[in-house]
């Protein structure tokens, strides 16, 4: 497990950029990241940082109502999902969920527990929580690909 504390929104964005840098060499394999944490913990802020590393500088908002925001980048696509409003995983069948997961795609999924049983296995699980007024980011690998990303994070951090 990797634990990384941040003190501000800008530090969370900076960690997201760093994470994007660590994911970049494995992007073509298709990377799936689950993001857990309470409302307002900073999951979307972290996603904004990842997108900044891939040279996307437009607005990054939580796709709470649209369920997914696709971002076309120079090396593929980043899909930012938010399943907060999903009441049952079967609801995801209506958006053609399986079509979003492929090579050359990074999937950032907020509230993945709401899609349990409908989602593919993830490579990384990231939790964003508050402890003693600091934001704490915890990252765990769930696959060989996730292990590669984590080892890169450990080397650079």
Q: Tell me the fold of 2-156.
A: Rossmann fold (3.40.50)
Average per-residue pLDDT in the chain? 92
Q: Are 138 and 34 in contact (CB under 8 A)?
A: no
Report the alpha-carbon distance of residue 115 to residue 95 in Å, rounded.
Answer: 12
Which residues of the chain have a pLDDT value below 50?
none
Q: Are 59 and 87 in contact (CB under 8 A)?
A: no
pLDDT of amino acid 156 = 61
Residue 148 main-chain phi, psi, to 5 deg: -60, -45
- Tens of pLDDT along 53-68? 999 999 998 888 889 9
Task: In whole angstroms, give the CA distance from residue 110 to residue 120.
Answer: 14
pLDDT score at 157: 54
How many Å apart are CA 116 and CA 6, to the nearest integer? 29
Q: 147: closest CA among 128, 120, 119, 123? A: 123
CA dist 48 and 17 (Å) reads: 8
């Amino acid at each position: 497990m990797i634990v990384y504390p941040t003190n501000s929104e800008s530090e969370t964005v900076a960690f997201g950029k760093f994470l994007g840098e660590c994911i970049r060499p494995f992007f073509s394999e298709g990377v799936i990241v689950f993001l857990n944490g309470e409302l307002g913990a900073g999951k979307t802020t972290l996603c904004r940082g990842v997108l900044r590393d891939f040279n996307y500088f437009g607005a990054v908002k939580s796709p709470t109502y649209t369920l997914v925001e696709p971002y076309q980048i120079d090396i593929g696509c980043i899909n930012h999902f938010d399943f907060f409003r999903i009441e049952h995983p079967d609801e995801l069948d209506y958006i053609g969920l399986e079509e979003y997961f492929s090579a050359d795609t990074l999937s950032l999924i907020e509230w993945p527990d709401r899609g349990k049983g409908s989602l593919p296995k993830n490579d990384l699980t990231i939790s964003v929580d508050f402890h003693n007024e600091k934001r704490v980011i915890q990252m765990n690998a769930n696959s060989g690909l996730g292990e590669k990303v984590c080892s890169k994070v450990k080397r650079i951090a």
